[in-house]
Amino acid sequence: MVTINEVAVEAGVSPSTVSRVFSRPEVVNSVTRQRVTEVADRLGYTPNRIARSLAIGKSGNLGLIVPDIANPFFAHLIKAVQVEARQAGLALFIAETDEHRLDEYPLVKAMAKQVDGLVLASPRMSDSQIRELVEIAPIVLINRKLRGVQSVLIPSADGMRQAVDHLAALGHDGCVYLAGPRNSWTNLQRRSAIRGACRRHAMSYTEMGPFEPRFESGVRAADPLIAAGATAVIAYDDVIALGVISRLSEREVRVGREMSVIGVDDSPLAAIACPPLTTVRVPAAKAGAVAVRLLLDLLAGRDANGGLPTELPTDLIVRSTTAPAPAAR
Amino acid sequence: MVTINEVAVEAGVSPSTVSRVFSRPEVVNSVTRQRVTEVADRLGYTPNRIARSLAIGKSGNLGLIVPDIANPFFAHLIKAVQVEARQAGLALFIAETDEHRLDEYPLVKAMAKQVDGLVLASPRMSDSQIRELVEIAPIVLINRKLRGVQSVLIPSADGMRQAVDHLAALGHDGCVYLAGPRNSWTNLQRRSAIRGACRRHAMSYTEMGPFEPRFESGVRAADPLIAAGATAVIAYDDVIALGVISRLSEREVRVGREMSVIGVDDSPLAAIACPPLTTVRVPAAKAGAVAVRLLLDLLAGRDANGGLPTELPTDLIVRSTTAPAPAAR
DNA sequence: CAAGTTGCTGCAACCGCTTGCATACTTCGT
DNA sequence: ACGAAGTATGCAAGCGGTTGCAGCAACTTG
């Protein structure tokens, strides 16, 4: 591995000059610069990022923590974060908590010290734990609200309200909500939006769960749904909704006839499901991109947005899993 | 940020001792060690990974390059790699090439210098470029074969053969292959396996493409399929297959009746599609896990597996998108 | 023409940790 | 009781860059 010193002697300058050629080119004389760069790539020199990090006290890395990489919502989020980070010349660390709340804090803490900033997507840890992390590294939260910490939120209240309105218009006199993870801010949002909308429509509200956002959770949820005589169900997310549909079909309950099912996320899954899933669209990629931009602002000392959470809108996409209530037909 | 020195003065020992307490505890006297650790966590000291990396010349990081994070195949692969890396105490860098061949080499090269090892999933770059990268960092390839470079391969020949056999048994007298990316080793494998199997069954073989592995590619591919009078089609992957199905339904061609469609990957998408997609199962997660283990062996100097590629098997999962050829009914 | 600028480069300390070698103190064998 | 072997710690030189400060030459300016 060729170092700055070798380039220096070969080019007949001091190491400092070589360093400056790479870090602040404008301060070195153009002909010297020319010579140094030429020697540098003749020797195949490239700056050692680790050494540089140590000297300047920045790593040039961003970190991203998600509950589940394979969940389409997070997959798209990750993708956007990665693109945005690269554009800013930063590399991206990724870690997954696999929805295990306990591992989360030490994991994030370990990562916090080797990155310049962190985005936590749907963290499940406690407020105080997050506060401690904020002391270590700049942090932007996604779908988690905490006073004084930058965040981008997708409250999904609009979308959920639209979903319930839609069910009400179809004549359903109640709906059940298949709740997501207990410590999820998003879950709380959805629950209260649905509950509120149900009250306004004088519809009954039932809750089942909590469920991990997995296909199998939905499968497991279906039988109790039937047993409870439900006619309309809103799932925490598409993945769960699809599990429900799958089991419902097995039980020969016709989805989009006897039972209306609504998901959340509008993942690619929703459109191709059978029947196509009515769902609430959630801008995952947008959220990721915005989070990185907030983080960059934070790093640059620009106090973006006055520290207020950035909120992103959601809306209902009606497809074929929702139909008039059997009683209303 | 508290350093090793502060701990040293506070504990009344030299910095070297503190360092040893954290890196080689067994060589320091147990009572000293006790005292140092106690002081350390009273002061909230944690070793600076960057400094450590610089001193010992290892970063403790692994890198993973994938064409497309949001593609379910890679999402599961990433997940497995992440889990495996964490288990080994290594952090994981992820970068995506977004199927853009041109960016790939510089991107990987940049990453190669800040990691201890790299796994390249389905790289599209040239053999010689990969060879250059191998000089910089230990590399394990996934779905790419290169003499002298460790790799884990999913040739999918078995699965493809089974797929064609299946079509033949259903009375199809030909099949079309919707090809994947031109520079993809996987694509070449699939193509030649299908072609070979068609020849054995005296079936006609037609190829269309190449297509990027995206839903829209499949949508685009459907009309030419109909125009060509095809009765059976094997797509490069599930994502493309689902695009085809979607457009076919729009055109009111009944999939699993007039047209048989087979995908590859057995992503969660396949099972929930409408109708459920016949597909070739590909062990994405397994591939990721094995790749990391090979990489760790490489790093430890163990020459795993004698440098031979590890091959993972595939098999056909028959669901509802394949049916007897219309003419054979 | 002296004094003050300006532009470029080098010196050397430093970022926080690791580690080969030297040192000092024990312990043991004879 | 004395040298050898072993154990625990400290010293100091790195790892590969960065950067404040000083030095020097060439240029202005009054």
pLDDT band at residue B240 under the 50/70/90 scheme? very high
Chain A span 76-135 residues with beta carbon within 7 Å of strand D: none
B328 vs B133, higher pLDDT: B133
pLDDT for residue A301: 83
Instruction: Show the DSSP H helices in chain A as ranges.
Output: 4-11, 15-23, 30-43, 49-56, 72-87, 101-112, 127-136, 157-169, 185-200, 215-227, 238-250, 268-272, 284-300
Pair type for strands B315-317 and B278-281: antiparallel
Give yes or no for a contact between B230 and B298, defined as CB atoms under 8 angstroms apart: no
Q: Which domains does chain A have, with CATH numbers?
A: 4-47 (1.10.260.40), 61-154+284-311 (3.40.50.2300), 157-282+315-328 (3.40.50.2300)
Does the CB of A319 have a partner CB in chain B at under 8 Å?
no
Of A70, A91, A98, the CB nearest to B93: A91
pLDDT for residue B269: 86
Report chain A's mean pLDDT, rounded to a whole number. Answer: 93
Sign of the C-alpha dihedral computed for residues B124, B125, B126 and B132 taken in this order: negative
Buried b (16+ CB within 10 A) or exposed e, A105-119: bebbebbbbbbbbbb
A183 vs A62, higher pLDDT: A62
pLDDT tops 80 at residue B115: yes
pLDDT for residue A147: 92
Does the CB of A241 have a partner CB in chain B at under 8 Å?
no
pLDDT (tens digit, 9 = 90+) per residue, B159-197? 999 999 999 999 999 999 999 999 899 999 999 999 999
Are A113 and B70 within 8 A, CB to CB? Answer: no
- CB contacts < 8 A, A to B, total 113
- Phi–psi pair at A206, nearest 5 degrees: -125, 145
B70: chain A residues, CB-CB within 8 Å: 72, 75-76, 78-79
| Distance of C1' in D8 from CA in B7, Å | 18
Bridge partners (DSSP) listed for residue A142: A121, A152
Q: What is the mean pLDDT of residues A212-240?
A: 95
Q: Which amino acid is present at B56? A: I
For an interface test with B, give the residue of A272, A277, A320 to mutate (most B CBs within 10 A): A272
Of the listed ranges A143-157, A201-215, A299-313, the least confidently predicted one is A299-313
* DSSP, residue by residue, A77-146: HHHHHHHHHHHTT-EEEEEE-TT-HHHHHHHHHHHHTTSSEEEEES--S-HHHHHHHHHHS-EEEES---
Of A309, A295, A301, A287, whose CA–CA distance to A90 is shortest?
A295
CA B196 to CA B202: how far, in whole Å? 10
For residue A293, how many other CB atoms are within 10 A of its CB? 18
